[in-house]
Amino acid sequence: MTVIASLLRAAQLPDSPTARLDAELLLAAALGKSRSYLHTWPEKIVSSEAALTFADFLQRRRGGEPVAYILGQQGFWKLDLEVAPHTLIPRPDTELLVETALQLLPATPASVLDLGTGSGAIALALASERPAWKVTAVDRILEAVALAERNRQRLALNNVSVLNSHWFSALAGHRFDLIISNPPYIAVGDVHLDEGDVRFEPESALVAGADGLDDIREIVAAAPQHLNAGGWLMLEHGYDQASAVRNLLQGAGFVEVASRKDLGSHERITLGRLPC
């Protein structure tokens, strides 16, 4: 017979910087319980079926597969989201986009666009905090659109519409008070593409040309035709791209251009306002 405590002690994840947390999340999922259950009942006997499931999870994690993909879910903001390998895994740094958007616009009615929504994380987080906002979430990958829609339905957020669109391609004639995006921003051949969880994430959601700015250039150039006067454009970007993104926004006529720092004190998002 095997108990919870002994399974956790035996779990070996040498290449993970969060080995203990990973093991707890995987065991809790195998048991169908919460992490707190593991600490409350460390001497509970684990069924052979659950032990085998846990062993399979550990093997996949040792191969580098992200915990979020193994479990099919990831927390973001205050939400639990379904995730899948055809979308990026929502990360804590991206919550800075949500925080800043909530500061920029009041809780009164507004129209918001989330470009490249993936799992729907940004759009759904904003919609959950601002019921009066009408949020449109778009992605060019059909599987991502279906995933974001499943998350929307499960969370019962009826102020969100999920559409298939490559950036603005399906949005002719539509204008918004805020356009927000976490687009691809890694350069082709960047060494980070061969490290950690990123190895398992879709390259189409990560890579954007020789300097990583191709998609940001496209968004910045097109955004003024889709913003209301005084509307905001806000973009996540690489830790060393803030200056370049500020220049792009200023060159496109945006004012009040500024960057904000993430949890690691890197300038991670940049925003600008269309003149009134």
158 and 267 inside one domain: yes
Binding site feature residues for S-adenosyl-L-methionine: 116-120, 139, 167, 182
Residue 251 lies inside a defined structural domain of this protein: yes
117 and 214 inside one domain: yes
Residue 228 lies inside a defined structural domain of this protein: yes
Based on the structure, what is the number of domains in the chain?
A: 2
Residue 191 pLDDT level (bands cut at 50, 70, 90):
low
Q: Is pLDDT above 90 for 211?
A: no
Instruction: Report d(CA 96, CA 98) in Å as an integer.
Output: 5
Q: Given the structure tokens 């949020």, which residue do they identify?
A: 135
145 and 194 inside one domain: yes
Binding site feature residues: 116-120, 139, 167, 182-185
The pTM of this model reads: 0.89
Report the sign of the C-alpha dihedral through residues 191, 75, 169, 200, in that order.
Answer: positive
pLDDT tens figures, 216-243: 999 999 999 999 999 999 999 988 999 9
Question: What is the extent of the structural domain holding 35?
Answer: 2-64
The domain that holds 36 is classified in CATH as 1.10.8
Instruction: Report d(CA 122, CA 135) in Å as an integer.
Output: 10
140 and 262 inside one domain: yes
The domain that holds 165 is classified in CATH as 3.40.50.150
Binding site feature residues for substrate: 182-185
Q: For residue 251, how many other CB atoms are within 10 A of its CB?
A: 11
12 and 92 inside one domain: no
Residue 149 pLDDT level (bands cut at 50, 70, 90):
very high
Instruction: Report d(CA 58, CA 65) in Å as an integer.
Output: 10
Are 267 and 261 within 8 A, CB to CB? yes
pLDDT tens figures, 10-38: 888 877 788 889 999 998 999 998 889 88
